[in-house]
Amino acid sequence: MSGTNAQGGRWLTRRDFLRASALGVGAVATGGLFAAYTSGTARASTSSSLVSSVLPSVAPTVSSGPVTIEHWVWNLRQGYWEEKAELLRQKFPNITIRVTEVPFEGMYDRLFASLVSGVGIPDVIDIEGGNFPRFVAQQEVPLLDLRERLATELGGLAPGIADRYAWRDGIYGVELAANSVLYFFRRDVFEKAGVTADNWEDFEVVAAALQDAARSLGVADAAAITWATDAQNNFRPLFLQRGGRYFDEAGNPTFNGTEGQDVARLMSATAKAGQAIATPGGWIGAPEWAAAAKENKVLSIVNGDWGTTYFQQNVPEMKGQWQAVPPPRWAAGGFAGTTNGGVSVSIMSTTKHPDEALEWLKQLRFDVDTVIDAYLRFGWTPVLKAAIDDPRFAQGVPYFGSEYSQVIKASMADMATFPVAIKQPQAEQALDSVMPGIVTGATDPVGSLNQAAEQVRQSA
Amino acid sequence: MNDRSRAGLGFLLPFAALYVLVVATPIVLAVGIAFSRVKGLDPPTIGVIENFTRMASDARLHKALGNTAAYGALFMVVTVPLSLGLALAFNSRHLPGRHALRAGYFLPYVTATVVAGTVFRLLLEGQFGLVNRVIADLGIDGPDWLLDPTTVLPAIVFVGVWRHLGVFALYFLAGLRTIPDEIVEAARVDGAGSWAVFRHITLPLLRPIMAFVLVIGLVTSASVFTEPLVMTRPVGGPNDAALTLFLYMYQVAFREFNLGYAAAIGLLFAVVLGVIAVIQVRLLGQMEPAER
């Protein structure tokens, strides 16, 4: 291309354009980098966190003017939140609750991006238990400490529940539901087999009897139990129930100790014996699992009480065939109950309206009618003592009958706790990686746990 | 600078400004972040090389690199010859229904990767998936495709091939259409058979398209992310057998929230990919069409 036109003037050449672009890039990037790094350095030098420097600090003032609280949830629940927001509005006409549905998979990525940029941070957020360590791993926890603010209300929770979101001296969320781990099983097959699953050490014998019973009922290749291919759904609850802890006080991984080995050996042995299979689709809510259940190919599963939702949604026609009880115990020691999953309602420390956000949290977690309504509609088992004692809770879940509430109570009576650990996500990730080999019996269970522990030790 | 030049500059400015804002600046900033400790919400530390030194001892990164290389090799070895064969078939006037076939092969490419991944996850489920049920009818006990470390990556490659076969064939078809009929006819008059025409005329004249397809294929396979994310549970597959570089970078950035290390991996990735692409193009000759 020529640089000169017919009139003798100069055309814009590619070189001109590239030169201009390069200058532009250089200027903008240098300016951006300079701004970013100098501000970063300034923050570092004053030992102030990114969060607190980007956003205004908490101002605990009660407002009489109109206040809007933004709450991020995973699921709009068919108007449930709006109904509860209306209840709050009746008490506090100046508070408007804006509920935003953010898909679970991207919620915390989006939140962290908001925290870093300082733009679009909600006031209240649902935090899934597995993601909670990501928040407390920061130099300054970006969540409001509720220990003093809700001192009275927290005392109304079932034992151990308030500590689920405790970190150092603070409490940074309130649990949604008990998430008690239950043992769901095919009532008819167990009755035919004439067995009960009392402890895990004897489970292989029980499983063999179950499979015989299933064969006599015309199902040749039913799995006595399914094991999840990730750590959180089966390994973790059984490990906690056995009395295990992921880390010692020095932060070293301990999930490969005796308790972890017992769980991994059970999973591996039942898989090798053809008694257990990897959970079809990975979890109880997967369509593959529902399909297997409908074909009578699975006879039992260990899951959090939230699994009741999926029985009702995915296999409603099997009502009466499945029963829920507390999980078998470990004869070697441990707890009657354990937990699987959990969701906190937490308030961001950046909120401009902490008191109004607290009122919303109280409405959701400490109002007995609201808690019971959530239980009846979604199966969120109450953790509020007043709700557990409410006669409506005693009615149980229709799918599992009236004894269901007693099962939950029994499970919660001696429940293993799950302390927050900074490296929990790394541990779960490392365990996730080896879990398929364990639950399919393809790898040495103890060696796999040791491999995962080594990976956690090496993680930065 | 005259009026015309100024007008030209005016037309270019919106694009240039946007390019600087959304492409060039993030790239430059990413380089800066790669040399910084940027973790979570904590204050960043500038001018460190720890992100690069960590790479040397990061076993998961090495695994991800190996898996990505294996994916790329398998993907290219299968996709390129198959798509070339398809293009030759589509180019034949003797193939009945070739227009419908062409559209059919292209459809997977416009299917959302998440949807495709989810469907294949269901199909490949070990106990109850359709694939194993079908081969069980043939008396074969199929593996648990996505839970077996030896089969999970090939299964993901299969989905990648299925998605890209049609579009790669279209690239080749476009190249085939540029080959003048008279050259082929002259060769045939001189007694050249089909293989000789393909070997000595079609293939050399397709060289620029081949280079293009190889570079696109390299970038596509090296940046594979959605398929393993959707299809593997746990994410990354058993023993990280399907952990790809992008997946690992995502985990580092958004699970560990270690943006500095993730940026460093990205930088390394860009450099390696750039070098390989340049080598590929050099080996295959110039990208410009051969002068006739």
Rounded to an integer, the average pLDDT of B38-63 is: 90
Q: Which chain A residues have a beta carbon less than 8 Å from that of B29?
A: 29, 32-33, 36
Residue B30: pLDDT above 50? yes
- Give me A18's structure tokens: 């590239």
Mean pLDDT of chain A: 86
Average pLDDT over residues B98-111: 88
> Given CB atoms, is A131 within the 8 Å cutoff of chain B?
no
**Which of A37-41, A274-278, A300-304 is the least confident region?**
A37-41
**Res A328 pLDDT > 80:** yes
A254: pLDDT strictly greater than 60: yes
Shortest Cα distance, chain A CAs vs residue B155, angstroms: 16
B248-268 mean pLDDT: 91
d(CA A382, CA A395): 13
Please write the tens of the pLDDT for every residue from A347-359: 999 999 999 999 9
Of all helices (H) and strands (E), which one includes residue A69? Answer: strand A67-73
pLDDT greater than 60 at residue A390: yes
Backbone angles phi, psi at A348, to 5 degrees: -70, 140
**pLDDT value of residue B189:** 92
B125 backbone φψ class: left, alpha, beta (φ>0; ψ -120 to 50): beta
Q: Taking 50 as the threshold, does the pLDDT of residue A374 lie above it?
A: yes
**Could B16 and A437 be called an inter-chain contact, meaning their C-beta atoms sit closer than 8 Å?**
no
More confident call, A50 vs A142: A142
pTM exceeds 0.95: no
pLDDT in tens, A66-93: 999 999 998 888 889 999 999 999 999 9
Residue A117 pLDDT grade (very low, low, confident, very high; cuts 50, 70, 90): confident
pLDDT-derived band at B283, boundaries 50, 70, 90: confident
Q: Are A57 and A28 in contact (CB under 8 A)?
A: no
* Separation CA B118–CA A421 (nearest Å): 33
pLDDT range class, residue A64, cuts 50, 70, 90: confident
What confidence score (pLDDT) does residue A417 get?
A: 86
Instruction: Judge whether residue A281 has pLDDT over 90.
Output: no
- A to B CB pairs, distance under 8 Å: 172
The residues near A383 (Cβ < 8 Å, ≥ 6 apart) are A157, A158, A161, A175, A176, A177, A178
Indicate the pLDDT class of residue B288, thresholds 50, 70 and 90.
Answer: low
**Confidence check on the interface: ipTM exceeds 0.85, yes or no:** no
Q: How far is CA A292 from the centre of its chain?
A: 25
pLDDT of residue B286: 57
Question: What is the pLDDT averaged over residues B99-121?
Answer: 91
* pLDDT for residue A293: 95
Report CB contact under 8 Å: A425, B25.
no
Residue A5 pLDDT > 70: no
Say how many CA atoms lie within 13 Å of B50 toward its Cβ. Answer: 12
The pLDDT of residue B56 is 92
Burial B53-88 (b: 16+ CB within 10 A, else e): ebeeebebbebbbebbebbbebbbebbbeebbebbb
pLDDT digits (tens, 9 = 90+) for A394-446: 988 889 988 898 999 988 889 998 888 988 988 999 999 999 999 999 999 99
Tokens of A333: 């020691």
pLDDT range class, residue B235, cuts 50, 70, 90: confident
Across the interface, do A12 and B12 touch by the CB < 8 Å criterion? yes
Residue with tokens 């937490």: A346
List CB contacts (< 8 A) between B59 and chain A.
Answer: 455, 458
Q: Which helix (H) or strand (E) holds B200?
A: none
pLDDT tens digits, one per residue of A14-30: 444 445 444 444 444 34
Q: Helices B207-222 and B152-177: crossing angle, nearest 10°? A: 150
